[in-house]
Amino acid sequence: MALVLVACQILLAAVFAVSAFTKLRGGAALRVFSSSLVMVPARFRRPVAVAVAAAEAVVPVAMLLPALGLAVSGALLVCFSAWITLSIRRGTRISCRCFGASEVPLGPSHLVRNSLLLAVVVLGGASLAVPGDLTAAGLAIAAVAGLVGATLLIVFDDIADLFADRHGEAA
């Protein structure tokens, strides 16, 4: 189970690192993310945007202490899911800026992605208590598995779009 934990750590660290990077890579990216936070009063949008991106950037470092990294990523995912749910219920058309300049509005597919990420958090947490041996080959496989999983979750909008019907709703 130690290798499962490593795969979960790498997956979550990669997802949050990419998400933070796409928001912090330049002033324009941060402004676009900040302006997408339309449910936040205008004067607080930039500080909230910086706080969100900074919290995402903390996750990869926190993963060096697995319990802390899992807790921080789980808490962020719960907050993001609540934000998405509120956006859907209010009918607010907010573009997802999770991984850059997507024009895809927040919707059920984002809740699915967050649910999958939360499942990774739970799996990682469950594997904390089960010791296991780490070998170089096992670590390599766990790293690849984590990176492949992260890649699939990062491009989840594109994958979901492949299965969308003509009205833009997931099939």
Give helix then strand counts, H and E, for the chain.
Answer: 7, 0
For the segment 19-78, what is each residue's pLDDT rounded down to a tens digit? 999 888 878 878 878 777 778 888 998 898 889 999 999 999 999 999 999 999 999 999
Instruction: State residue 14's pLDDT score.
Output: 96
Q: Which residues lie across from 170 on neighbouring strands? A: 164
Alpha helices (runs of H) in 39-135, residue ranges in sequence order = 42-62, 66-90, 108-128
Q: Does the pLDDT at position 166 exceed 50?
A: no
- Whole-number pLDDT of residue 71: 97
pLDDT at 100: 65
* Residue the block writes with tokens 């390599």: 140
State the sign of the Cα–Cα–Cα–Cα dihedral 149, 20, 113, 160: negative
- Statement: residue 171 has pLDDT above 50: no
Q: Domain locations in the chain?
A: 2-162
Question: Tens of pLDDT along 99-132?
Answer: 766 677 788 888 999 999 999 999 999 999 888 7
Q: What percent of the chain has pLDDT over 70?
A: 93
Residue 10: which residues within 8 A CB-CB, separation 6 or more? Answer: 63, 142, 143, 145, 146, 147, 150
- pTM for this prediction: 0.86
Would you give the distance in Å from CA 60 to the centre of its chain?
12
The 10s digit of each residue's pLDDT in 89-99 is 888 777 776 77
CB burial of 94-122 (b: ≥16 within 10 Å; e: otherwise) equals bbbbbbbeeebebbebbeebbeebbebbe
Write the DSSP symbol of residue 95. B
Count, residues in the chain: 171
The answer to whether residues 18 and 155 touch, using CB atoms and an 8 Å cutoff, is: no
104 Cβ neighbours under 8 A, 6+ residues apart: 95, 96, 157, 161
Q: Using CA atoms, how far apart are residues 18 and 104, in angstroms rounded to an integer?
A: 18
